[in-house]
Amino acid sequence: MRKFRIARRLFPFLIVLSGFTYLLFSFVPLLVPEGFYDVSQSPVPAEMIIMLGGDLRQRLPKAISLYENGFAVHVIISGADSGQTETLKKAIPSDRLQVEPDATSTWENAILSRPLLAAILKPGDTVLLVTDAWHTRRSLACFRKACPQYRFVPVAADTISGPYFDSKKVRRREFAALLLYVFKYQIAPWQS
């Protein structure tokens, strides 16, 4: 009988909580302007390029282009599969390329790249982060948190309005990911 009373008291609370959660993840992300997620900058001369794994249709050519145009002499590919690594090995000499194959999230990209950065860079050095435009804010926040001794410049491999970019879907997903990362990893995505 006591369990029934507790359940009856909790039921309205759970209904309100579910409604709030639905609103939070369905509509609030759409109130955030599309441009909020894109904090990319023009590339600058740097000591290192880090290309984040994932959807590499545009990231891979961008990282290769930056390297070939002399923006940096070292490249890290973080969270890539063997096919992506082979493509990079054809364009970048092996003594200039480092592969971090284990990352499965943006936070892991930052944490697992840290020893590779430390082996080559000194504090204050500049690193170009190559990722999608909508992913630049979260990736920048993760790398700043994990490796505060370096200067990170996010470089978009695409624009925020390409054939891949489904505005509502990406904005909802990125909003949820940012919220999760703020609480789980204490990143500060509002500092662009």
pLDDT at position 89, please? 80
Q: Report the pLDDT averaged over residues 96-105.
A: 93
- Could you tell me if 59 and 14 lie in one domain? no
pLDDT at 114: 97
Direct distance between the N- and C-terminal alpha carbons of the chain, in angstroms, rounded to an integer? 54
* 65 plus 16 within the same structural domain: no
CATH number of the domain that residue 106 is part of: 3.40.50.620
Statement to judge: residues 90 and 6 lie in one domain: no
Shared domain for 23 and 50, answered yes or no, is no
Confirm if 50 and 78 have CB atoms less than 8 A apart: yes
Residue 143 has pLDDT above 70, yes or no: yes
- Does residue 69 lie within any of the structural domains? yes
Full residue range of the structural domain in which residue 128 is found: 36-185
Q: Name which of 32-36, 39-43, 145-149, 172-176 the model is least confident about.
A: 32-36
Q: Is 128 or 8 the better-scoring residue by pLDDT?
A: 128
pTM of the model: 0.83
Q: Does 8 lie in the same domain as 102?
A: no
Per residue in 145-175, pLDDT (tens digit) is: 999 999 999 999 976 555 555 677 778 888 8
Residue 6 is predicted with a pLDDT of: 67
So what's the pLDDT on residue 4? 64
Cβ atoms of residues 22 and 118 within 8 Å: no
Residue 171 lies in a domain: yes
Is 22 found in the same domain as 98? no
Integer Cα distance of 176 and 181 in angstroms:
9
Residue 138 sits in the same domain as residue 165: yes
Q: Does 54 share its domain with 149?
A: yes
Q: How confident is the model at residue 165, as a pLDDT?
A: 57
Q: Distance (Å, rounded) from C-alpha 119 to C-alpha 44? A: 22
Q: Is residue 107 part of a domain?
A: yes
Query: Are 110 and 126 part of one and the same domain?
Result: yes
Buried b (16+ CB within 10 A) or exposed e, 150-172: bebbbbbbbebeeeebeeeebbb
Is 97 part of a structural domain of the chain? yes
Q: Is the pLDDT of residue 32 over 90?
A: no
Query: Is 25 in the same domain as 40?
Result: no
User: Would you state the structure tokens that stand for residue 41, as one six-digit string?
Assistant: 């900058």
Torsions phi, psi of 149, nearest 5?
-80, -5
Residue 77 has pLDDT above 70, yes or no: yes
Does 80 lie in the same domain as 8? Answer: no
Counting the structural domains of the chain, the total is: 2
Statement to judge: residues 175 and 139 lie in one domain: yes
191 domain-assigned: no
| Average pLDDT of the chain, as a whole number | 86
Q: Tens of pLDDT along 3-18?
A: 666 667 777 777 777 7
